[in-house]
Amino acid sequence: MKLGVIGGGAWGTALAQVAAAKGQETLLWAREPDVVASVNAAHENRLYLPGIPLNPAIRATGDLADTADCDALLIVTPAQHMRTVIADLPPRDVPLVLCAKGIEDKTGLFLHDVARTMQPRGAIAVLSGPTFAHEVAAGLPTAVTLAIEDQAMGERLRDRLAGPAFRPYLSSDVAGAEIGGAVKNVLAIACGVVEGKRLGQNARAALISRGFAEMTRFGLAKGARVETLAGLSGLGDLVLTCSSISSRNFSLGKGLGEGKSAAELMADRRTVAEGAFTAPVLLRVAKAANVDMPIAAAVCALLAGDCTADEAVERLLARPLRSEGV
């Protein structure tokens, strides 16, 4: 058995660490030659996960053709690049486990729908949950949702990743698992704004709760199950990402709350803050489904420079009073 991990950022590297701990051959594909060199020579990803010793059994490559003999692939590129990278894979029907969090901007498609158009036959799973890469790579306890229609295949994939500190919970709700991860990144930007503007912890808790109401409205409209949205890949990841400056999305929002522009904040970032790319497409898809998402709309306007953080907050607080139900 040989597991391929496609994407040598922080999360792909952490997942390679999880896979290698199971004793299986693990191949990590990275775009950057520096990542390939540092993983192979120093057993460290100096660009994206510095300071965390990696299992020396992880082998890195810069050539996608080397994944031809892998019998399952974890796809861990940023959401907007997933399609091109899958298109460049050696053509086979091995199971794909999608680990990015986002919605494809140019089509409005969820990532499992993108992958399905490119691989009509092979199994497609979604792995998502509250998982800061540096904690997972360091072996700290973590639980995730692993969603896939074919439960027997799901059990096989689960058993290749599960370990004493890494607990995948199986689900058949692929759309639900994906929607939580995509939406929470946008909401984490909003929570970062609360931090940047020092609006207090009450405001952050209110945003998390009302953000969860938005996630639930959107998820139910798009076929997700409520228990998935309330589980690890939904509420679990929302709480994590909205509470910690370790989140790239939260820290982007904090900068916006401090008055910096999105362009300024994104200019010198090597790492990805998916919420910035997801927000506009999320809003488009929500509008088309008649789903009201005022917090996501505020994040969108702020990212686009259409309003200041003060105006975004004022508008949210001035909305008509209403009953609490979703």
Ligand X SMILES: NC(=O)C1=CN([C@@H]2O[C@H](COP(=O)(O)OP(=O)(O)OC[C@H]3O[C@@H](n4cnc5c(N)ncnc54)[C@H](O)[C@@H]3O)[C@@H](O)[C@H]2O)C=CC1
Ligand Y SMILES: O=C(CO)COP(=O)(O)O
- Is 171 one of the binding residues for ligand Y (CB under 6 A)? no
Distances (CA, A) of 161 to 15, 18, 155, 180, 265: 8, 6, 10, 21, 35
Shortest approach of ligand Y to residue 169 CB, angstroms?
A: 15
Active site residues: 184
Which residues are near ligand X by CB under 6 A? Answer: 7-12, 31-32, 48, 76-79, 81, 85, 99-102, 131-133, 271-272, 274
Residue 136 or 298 with smaller CB distance to ligand Y: 136
248 within 8 A of 188, measured Cβ to Cβ: no
How many Cα atoms occupy the beta-carbon half-sphere of 60 within 13 Å?
A: 26
Exactly one of 98, 249, 295, 303 binds ligand Y (CB under 6 A); which one?
Answer: 249
Phi, psi angle pair for 98, to nearest 5°: -85, 125
Q: Which residues pair with 142 in a beta bridge?
A: 166
Residue 123 or 242 with smaller CB distance to ligand Y: 242
Closest alpha carbon to 191 in 231, 260, 130, 240 = 240
Closest alpha carbon to 175 in 133, 105, 237, 233 = 233
Interface mask (CB under 6 A) for ligand Y, residues 91-120, using x and -? ----------x-------------------
Instruction: Tell me whether residue 129 is annotated as binding.
Output: yes
293 within 8 A of 214, measured Cβ to Cβ: yes
Using CB under 6 A, list all residues that contact ligand Y. 101, 130-132, 185, 188, 237, 240-241, 247-249, 274
Binding-site residues for NAD(+): 7-12, 133, 248
Which residues participate in the annotated binding site? 7-12, 31, 48, 101, 129, 131, 133, 184, 237, 247-249, 272, 274
